[in-house]
């Protein structure tokens, strides 16, 4: 991944990639454009934005700090695109994850899935966010009033078929 | 042989650094690098059962052999999204 | 619903409503803004665009013509917002449907659902498009190479609980 | 009494108009308006079992009473989205 230039959106100076890990503000429109490119064969685009909440577990969140093992995070996201393509043939998927400091209300992730039929695009979009939380080496530290804490979720293992089955299940696949 | 060890998130905080160079005796595995790390920073030991490992930016296992110049990453449970 | 001024997007001259039936081009961003208004309590926004496909059932589509019984269509969409609010408390939903002539690639409907947690927002967004297809008096005439045909789907009956249960089921609720 | 009848999509095409005024004898129901329509445009009869009806822009039933000035809509199966 090319590092973005300071102070510019990454969409201004590069062809938008299907997957990206970037410190720049995210654009849902950018990932929608990626999956919509190539004509009018798609009848449906499902999309998702994950936003920083101002409260979590009763704490007032001041900001989040995201960190990634970037080369492996990009590979993990590419793997998710590939898994989705195998599970829902013809569906195109794009996802961008932001890292660095994020204030409440800012998007930490944007995802878009386009295809001929809506069911597959909803499933692929939901699958992508579930898999990001399972296998992509990105971490967030929550800064709240009175302290900060690293949040820890799933032990990342792309080969864990039980985790993948769980992601498929909640995706209504 | 010399390897680079990458640490992230709380694991990085516990060791006080996100990138360390370790000298290992051949033949070495990911586990050799981890043991060397625990010797110096015992507080990281709690991650042994819950972390993932990577070699040269690909997921790997504790038993995997490593070679001179490899980059070994120890990854706490992830929390992206 | 206020009719849009010719040649201007409806978002330029009016407060954006949660539901709308309009001849103006749709903006996914507009419905996302509607559901995102009011702070940073939301952690998730699921969204959906329905697009005109250039092929359908083996035919080459030249354009679609959408027609609505506007006052009842708006009421139907308001009902969907209300149903979603009862089913997923705290989730905010907005949806805009376009009518008139639409070319392949253009959006016929845009939907956004925001809430604290992603599962509810995906479900509410999917539920909304299913319910539009069940109870909102809008019709499309497909113009294809060699002819045209009015498409007919569901007999609209908002009180049909079997239809509602079906919409909930495919929404993974 | 006089009512306005609204027709949409293919039903409108079959009748050749989207808005008609019908004179009905009192007491009248939605069904009275429909029968009057079928008398004049027999080709619309096929919609009787699959259409929805509305009175003054609210869903209603064939058996519902209608009053002078009401707007009655006959709606083919919908295909929005």
What mean pLDDT is predicted for residues D50-76? Answer: 98
The per-residue pLDDT for A86 is 97
If pLDDT is split at 50, 70 and 90, which confidence band does C2 have?
very low
What mean pLDDT is predicted for residues C87-115? Answer: 98
The per-residue pLDDT for C113 is 98
**Could you tell me if B55 and B32 are in contact, meaning their C-beta atoms sit under 8 angstroms apart?**
no
Helix axis angle for C118-135 and C70-87, nearest 10°, is: 150
- Residue pLDDT, tens place only, B29-50: 999 999 999 999 999 999 999 9
Across the interface, whether the CB atoms of A32 and C29 are under 8 A apart is answered no
Among B13, B52, B81, select the one facing A108 at the smallest CB separation. B81
How distant is the Cα of A130 from the closest Cα of chain C, in angstroms? 10
Chain A residues 89-148 with a CB less than 8 Å from chain B: 97, 108-109, 129, 132-141
Token pair of A98, please? 């932001």
Proportion of chain D above pLDDT 70, given as a percent: 100
Proportion of chain A above pLDDT 70, given as a percent: 92
Summary mean pLDDT of chain D: 98
End-to-end CA distance of chain B: 37
A6 Cβ contact partners less than 8 Å away, ≥ 6 residues apart? none
SS3 state of residue C4: coil
Across the interface, whether the CB atoms of A133 and B8 are under 8 A apart is answered no
Question: Tokens 């993932």 map to which residue?
Answer: B52
Across the interface, whether the CB atoms of C53 and A118 are under 8 A apart is answered no
Q: Where are the domains of chain B?
A: 2-75
The per-residue pLDDT for A12 is 56
C102: Cα separation from own chain's centroid: 15
What mean pLDDT is predicted for residues D18-46? Answer: 97
SS3 state of residue A93: strand
A11–chain B Cβ distance below 8 A for any pair? no
C161–chain D Cβ distance below 8 A for any pair? no
Look up the ipTM and state it: 0.93
Q: Is A13 a residue whose pLDDT tops 60? A: no
Q: Is C161 a residue whose pLDDT tops 80? A: yes
Phi, psi for B46 (deg, rounded to 5): -60, -20
The per-residue pLDDT for A77 is 98
Rounded to two decimals, the pTM is 0.93
For A40, the domain range is 15-171
The per-residue pLDDT for A7 is 53
Q: Is C85 a residue whose pLDDT tops 70? A: yes
D44–chain C Cβ distance below 8 A for any pair? no
Whether C10 is covered by a domain: the verdict is no
At least 3 CB pairs under 8 A between chains B and D? no
The per-residue pLDDT for C166 is 96
C19 Cβ contact partners less than 8 Å away, ≥ 6 residues apart? C74, C77, C78, C80, C81, C94, C95, C96
- Chain C residues touching residue A51 (CB < 8 angstroms): 36, 40, 42-45
Across the interface, whether the CB atoms of A157 and B59 are under 8 A apart is answered yes
Q: Which is more confident, C55 or C2?
A: C55
Buried b (16+ CB within 10 A) or exposed e, B9-37: bbbbbbbeebebebebeeebbbebbbebb
Summary mean pLDDT of chain A: 93
- Residue pLDDT, tens place only, C17-26: 999 999 999 9
Question: Tokens 């509305």 map to which residue?
Answer: D54
Tell me which of 3.10.20.30, 3.50.50.60, 3.40.1310.30, 3.40.50.300 is the CATH number of domain B2-75.
3.10.20.30
Whether A41 is covered by a domain: the verdict is yes
Q: Is A5 a residue whose pLDDT tops 60? A: no
D71–chain C Cβ distance below 8 A for any pair? no
Chain C residues 27-46 with a CB less than 8 Å from chain A: 28-29, 32, 36, 39-46
Across the interface, whether the CB atoms of D76 and C152 are under 8 A apart is answered yes
Q: Is C6 a residue whose pLDDT tops 70? A: no
SS3 state of residue A74: helix
Question: Tokens 């707007």 map to which residue?
Answer: D71
- Residue pLDDT, tens place only, A27-37: 999 999 999 98
Whether C167 is covered by a domain: the verdict is yes
Could you list the mean pLDDT of each consecutive 10-residue stretch along chain B, which spans 81 residues?
98 98 97 98 97 98 98 98 97
Strand runs labelled E in A69-99: 92-98
What mean pLDDT is predicted for residues A49-67? Answer: 96
Residue of A nearest to C172 (CA): A172
SS3 state of residue D18: coil
The per-residue pLDDT for C11 is 53
Q: Is C146 a residue whose pLDDT tops 70? A: yes
Q: Is D13 a residue whose pLDDT tops 90? A: yes
The per-residue pLDDT for A165 is 96
According to DSSP, the β-strands at D2-7 and C59-68 are: unpaired
Proportion of chain C above pLDDT 70, given as a percent: 92
Q: Is A1 a residue whose pLDDT tops 70? A: no
- Whichever domain contains A132, its CATH number is 3.90.1170.40
Could you give the CA distance from residue B38 to residue B41 in angstroms, rounded to a whole number?
5
The per-residue pLDDT for B44 is 98
Report which of C82, C108, C83 is spatially closest to residue C97, judged by C-alpha positions. C108
The per-residue pLDDT for C12 is 56
- Residue pLDDT, tens place only, A115-164: 999 999 999 999 999 999 999 999 999 999 999 999 999 999 999 999 99
């Amino acid at each position: 991944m090319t590092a973005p230039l300071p102070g510019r959106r990454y969409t201004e100076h590069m062809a938008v990639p299907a997957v990206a890990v970037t410190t720049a503000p995210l654009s849902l429109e950018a990932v929608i454009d990626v999956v919509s490119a190539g004509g009018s064969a798609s009848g449906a685009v499902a999309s998702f934005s994950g936003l920083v909440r101002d409260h979590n577990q009763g704490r007032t969140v001041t900001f989040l700090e995201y960190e990634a093992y970037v080369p492996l995070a990009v590979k993990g996201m590419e793997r998710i695109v590939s898994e989705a393509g195998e599970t829902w043939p013809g569906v195109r998927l794009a996802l961008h994850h932001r890292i660095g400091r994020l204030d409440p209300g800012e998007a930490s992730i944007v995802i878009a899935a386009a295809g001929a039929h809506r069911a597959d695009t909803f499933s692929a979009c939901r699958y992508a966010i579930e898999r990001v939380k399972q296998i992509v080496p990105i971490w967030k530290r929550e800064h709240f009033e009175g302290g900060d804490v690293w949040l820890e979720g799933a032990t990342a293992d792309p080969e864990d078929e039980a985790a993948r089955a769980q992601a498929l299940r909640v995706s209504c696949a | 042989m010399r390897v680079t060890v990458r640490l992230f998130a709380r694991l990085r905080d516990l060791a006080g650094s996100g990138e360390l160079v370790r000298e290992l005796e051949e033949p070495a595995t990911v586990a050799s690098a981890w043991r060397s790390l625990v010797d110096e920073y015992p507080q990281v030991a709690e991650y042994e059962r819950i972390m993932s490992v990577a070699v040269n930016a690909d997921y790997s296992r504790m038993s995997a052999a490593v070679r001179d110049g490899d980059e070994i990453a120890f990854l706490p449970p992830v929390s992206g999204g």
